[in-house]
Every structure is written in C-alpha cells, then in structure tokens.
Amino acid sequence: MSAKNSEFGGIVLGWLVRDPDNGAAVINSDVHVCDAAEVNVCRCFSRPEFRSCPMAALVDRRLSRRGMLRVASGLAVAATAGCSIGGGAASGSADTIRLGMQATTVGAAAKIAERKGYFAAQGLVPTYSIFAKGPDAAAALQAGSVDVIVLNYVSLINALVNKTADLMVVVDANQATPQSCRLIVDSTAGIAHPRDLEGKKVAIHAERSVNELLVRETMTNAAANPQAVDYRPITFDKTAQAILSGQVSAGVLIEPFLSLALMRGLGVTDPFSIIHGSTDAFPLAAWVTTRDTARHKRGMLEAFQRAMAPAQVDAGNRDEQQKSLPDLLTQLGGGVNKDQISNVMQLLQLDGFPLTADANRLNKVSRVMKAQGWLTQDFDLGPVLLTKDTPRN
C-alpha cells in the first residue's frame, strides 16, 4: 500500500492508504489533515486570519483517526464561526439544494450532513424527495424537479452510453461489501449454489440495474448460466415478502432492507456471496446531476461536495447512521414501527463510503457490464466526474 494525499470536492481529507486490490481510499490510522485551500494544516493554522478560529485548538501536527473526524467535521462547522479559508460557508442567503434519494444508508449520509451542520456551514439548505428506485429519481432529475440524485452506476452508464441523459458524478456514494449487499433466498427453495438459480425468478429491484449485474456476474464466475434466470423488477421494500409468498425464489437486498428482512425472520437465508472476485468492493451508486445543472449551479454543487466529504466519513460509523437513518425508515411504510427500527440499527451492515471518486476503481462497473454483454466496449467514467478541473461552460 502506498500513501497518497487525496482530495475530494476541494477538501483534502488527509493522508489516505489506497488498497492495491480495489483502489479504494481508506483512512490511515495516523493522518495529516489539510484544509479546503489545499495547504498543510501545520501551515494553514499559522496564518494570521486563522489564529482566531475556534478550530485551531483542535489541531495538532499529527492526528489520530478520531482527530481526523473532529477536523473533518470542524472544517465544515468552523465556517459558521467566522472562518472562511478555502471557501467555507458562502456569505449572504443560503442556497436550497433539492436532493432525490432512497431510504438507504446512502440517503442517511445526506441526513448526517444536515444534522451535523455540514450543509449549513457551506450555505446550503437541503430538501429531500424519497424515490422507490433510481430510474424514478432520474426522471425527476431530467424534469428539473431535483438538483442531485442517488443513481446506481449501471443505470448511469446506460444513460450515458445510450445518450438518454447527460449526467455527471458529483460524489461517489457507496460501494458494496459482502455483508451489506446480499442475495437472499427462500430457505426451502433448495438454492445452495449459483447454478441453482437457473430456472428461478429473482428480484433485482429494477431492470438492468447493478443488482441484476451482480447476480449475472456471480453466476458467470460459477460457470452457471445467467441467461436462464427470470429477473423480476421488484423493489427492495417488497422483495422479502415476494420471496415469502413464492412470487420469487430469491432477491438482492441492500441495507436497511436486508436487516429488515432478517429481523422479521421471513424464512430467508443467503447461501453464497455476490460480492467477491470481480465484484469485490463493487461501486454501487453516486450522487449525480445533469451537465446543465453542473454548468449553471457549479458553486452549489461544489458546496455540496465539501459538505458531503465529512459526511462520507461519518456514514461509515454505525452510531452516526443510528442518528439519521431512522428518519428515513419511518417513510418506508409497510408496518415499520419504532421497535423494529431500533432492531434494524443493531443488525445494520454498512457499505463502504469512498472518500474519493477514482475513475480507475469506478470503471470496474463498465468492465463487468462489458463482460456480461451489456456494453460493446469499456466506458470511462473519468470525463463525467465533477472536479475542480471540469470546465465551467
């Protein structure tokens, strides 16, 4: 592993270690934090305009992970205390940013940013629209009723390749772990191996989604035939009941729907992992906007990136999720009550929440899509990542 000073949305979070197997950036146990102006914290806190900042007392030359969390949080919050180095909170009235998302741990990251003041520190006031699935959110984005949405990478790439939408990645939202993204099956269906899915009905949330791709790739890797499966677009919130009723034999679930299904004891189990080998640490979704919005609301989107940087760190913490995800769970309906929500939070398995949007890692999605015949050639996501080098016109 090699250390790399890694930047996200104008905020250099610190010295990160890059996993050589999947390219993911993870926080080292001892980090060096820089501010949004991309200057070393040892130097930036000696600047005269920063000496009166209340954040200065939090910083030392070498920081533990806990210290990094405090600074990542504080760099956002400090703007409200009068600090404006490197583009803190915008002066004047706040911008309303309209977010479209699902009631998942990814959506909870945005709620964390609101609850902890990261949005306010950047002059943003978020509003939320909750969608059952990504394509519904994409339609709202195209219609102009939201500014940024959560969209899975397969749907994003399909839209770009087919030229049905001109989209850009604002924040890399999450990546799968073997525990947080699983294939759940009817425990009486006799499914113990990927080949046992042949001839079965499998719920994949939405057609040609990342969930379907993961099932297909898992079957291919196990020398099974992915074409022999009947894929059904049943949304996450209805998948467990569909398995129980015999409507399907299996289905892909992510959190918190996974823990809801297991908590309710619906007679389901997961006999094999769909996150391993070519799908290990698989990129799942991104916060996405249109190129037109990126052109006309660039300052707002950059403020969103700065606010989400510390929120991504916090989203990987169960305690932080527990303070924000229940608000979204209450919007699911389906008889989800307060006691069940509490139990779900105890079972919750967390995704990976990347601190950088790295094209090499994200391009794993198009490589697997190509292997499954969904693309005729690799598709590079690099040009659609919104960075400081993205042209403003």
Model pLDDT, residue 339: 67
* Residue 87 located in a structural domain: no
DSSP for 136-160 reads HHHHHHHHTS-SEEEEEHHHHHHHH
194 and 71 both lie in a single domain: no
Residue numbers of the domain that contains 164: 95-174+282-384
Model pLDDT, residue 143: 96
Model pLDDT, residue 382: 97
- Taking the C-alpha atoms of residue 325 and residue 295, their distance in angstroms, rounded to an integer, is 32
205 and 216 both lie in a single domain: yes
DSSP for 216-277 reads HHHHHHTT--GGGSEEE---HHHHHHHHHTTS-SEEEEETTHHHHHHHTT-SEE--S-SSSG
Peptide bond into 48 cis (omega under 30): no
Model pLDDT, residue 333: 52
Find the Cα–Cα–Cα–Cα dihedral 20, 21, 26, 27, rounded to 10°: -50
163 and 294 both lie in a single domain: yes
* Residue 372 located in a structural domain: yes
- Any idea which residue has 């015999």 for tokens? 246
208 and 169 both lie in a single domain: no
Q: Which of 240, 257, 279 is the last residue of a domain?
A: 279
231 and 365 both lie in a single domain: no
144 and 100 both lie in a single domain: yes
215 and 271 both lie in a single domain: yes
224 and 359 both lie in a single domain: no
Instruction: Report the number of distinct structural domains present in the chain.
Output: 3
CB-based contacts of 208: which residues, under 8 Å, 6+ apart? 154, 155, 158, 374
Q: Which of 50, 81, 112 is the last residue of a domain?
A: 81
* Residue 389 located in a structural domain: no
* Residue 90 located in a structural domain: no
Model pLDDT, residue 116: 96
Model pLDDT, residue 265: 67
- pTM of the prediction? 0.75
The tens place of each residue's pLDDT in the chain, 393 residues long, gives 333 333 333 333 333 333 434 444 433 323 333 333 332 333 333 333 333 333 333 333 334 444 444 444 444 444 333 333 333 344 456 799 999 998 888 888 999 999 999 999 999 999 999 998 888 999 999 999 999 999 999 999 999 999 999 999 999 999 999 999 999 998 888 999 999 999 999 999 999 999 999 999 999 999 999 999 999 999 998 998 899 899 999 999 998 888 888 877 666 678 899 999 999 999 999 999 999 999 999 999 999 999 999 999 999 998 898 888 887 777 655 455 666 777 777 888 899 999 989 999 999 999 999 999 999 998 999 999 999 999 887
261 and 303 both lie in a single domain: no
